[in-house]
Chains A and B, each alone.
Chain A
Amino acid sequence: MKKKLRHITEYALLRPLLALIDCLSPRAAELLATVLADIYFSGAARRRGITCDNVRLSGIAKSEVEVRRIAKHSFRHFACLVIDSLKSDKIFTPETWQDHVEMDVDPATMELMKKPGQGVILISGHLGNWEIAAQIISYIKPVVGITRDMNNPYTDKLMKERKPRNNFKLTPKHDADMGRLLTTLKDGHILALLIDQHARKGGMMIDFFGTPASTHTSHAMLHLITKIPLCFGYCVKTGPMQFKFKALPPITAERTGNRNADVKAILKQLTTELESAIRAYPEQYLWAHRRWR
């Protein structure tokens, strides 16, 4: 009963907030997001602590002042990410999206993404705006991503109704069976997956900034069994509703017969690419995410 009341209260607060966001310009909405993020950063001691601990553990900051600065900006960035994702369906259209995005895509990767019938496994992380990344790419080719339902069913329904459609389809995590994902690739679509989600006991331990983190193996396994190209890409924010999408050359790995070694090599390579991208844009990484559990 208490939980239901909390869910209804959250929903009741979210609705007018969404209406307000709709009325504001991108710049004003970003300012609002920054203020709300700063309030949350000051008040949410536990989440702030996790974020600072993660920044510290990564070794990316040279001092405690920098740890706090990166953590605070990471909160701000995440608030802007939510706002940008919500506003994107009104701002991005097939005619205008290119006005908002600088594309820095390796030519071989672009060729794969444009080739009709060619499936692609696109790997990213909790860096920049991964929702906008999928949306951008879906203007080139249909994209399927996997999402986790929100704990609050009311806000979950509301946010799903708000999600931009275009050619970006989200599959709930509990419903993402391998057959469906394989069919997505066979149909020549892009399967977008995040490499830095905690994989619990079923994952493989891969060093992330020097500390082992349980990593899903399915990204690598899908490539090894289908030979469908694997590409790493990410989308960073460069201004109010302005983004840069970067994608690296495709990764192609041969099967050697040693499954674990093959998977490990691919996951290490993808994780290294993600680390490099995070080093370039540390404030745009979701450090509040508990990667090392």
Chain B
Amino acid sequence: MTKLEILDQLRKTMKDSSPEPIEWDSLSEETTIGSLGFDSLSILDLIYDVQQAFGIDFEAEELVNINTVGELADFLEETLKA
């Protein structure tokens, strides 16, 4: 998957996971995950949905230092390559 495809899939996944109504069209790589309505509990839902959507398993604590959508996309790109 290219990074653009990953970002597109992420947008869809996050839209389904987020507990908040968000303006998803304005989502950019710099958007912080926290600003999308994910708190310390709903982030677990997002991790589940990302694992399912991308068909991969990764160690959830690797996401602890990821703050933005772009960083998450980079992480997924690396994981998918591996």
Contact = CB atoms under 8 A, between A and B. Distances in A.
Interface string A37-54: 000000000000000000
Nearest to A203: B41
B41 A259 contact: no
Given A182-B60, A183-B61, A224 B40 contact: no
A221 B61 contact: no
Contacts of A182: 60-61, 64
A221 B45 contact: yes
Contacts of B47: 221, 225
Contact of A259 (B43, B45, B60): B45
Interface in A188-216: 202, 216
Secondary structure of the A contact surface, majority rule = helix
Contact of A179 (B45, B49, B59, B61): B61
Given A177-B40, A182-B64, A259 B59 contact: no
B52 A255 contact: yes
A221 to B, nearest CB: 4
Interface residues of B, number: 15
Interface string A156-199: 00000000000000000000111100110110000000000000
Contacts of A224: 48
Contacts of A216: 41
Contacts of A177: 40
A227 B44 contact: no
A279 B76 CA distance: 47
A61 interface: no
A251 interface: no
A226 B60 contact: yes
A259 B48 contact: yes
A218 interface: yes
A225 B51 contact: yes
A49 to B, nearest CB: 32
Contacts of B51: 225, 255
Interface in B50-73: 51-52, 57, 59-61, 64
Given A255-B51, A257-B52, A259-B49, A221 B44 contact: yes
26 contacts: A177-B40, A178-B43, A178-B44, A178-B64, A182-B60, A182-B61, A183-B61, A183-B64, A185-B61, A186-B59, A217-B45, A218-B44, A221-B44, A221-B47, A221-B48, A224-B48, A225-B44, A225-B47, A225-B48, A225-B60, A227-B57, A255-B51, A255-B52, A259-B45, A259-B48, A259-B49
Given A182-B60, A183-B61, A221-B47, 8 more contacts: A177-B40, A178-B41, A178-B43, A178-B44, A182-B64, A183-B64, A257-B52, A259-B45
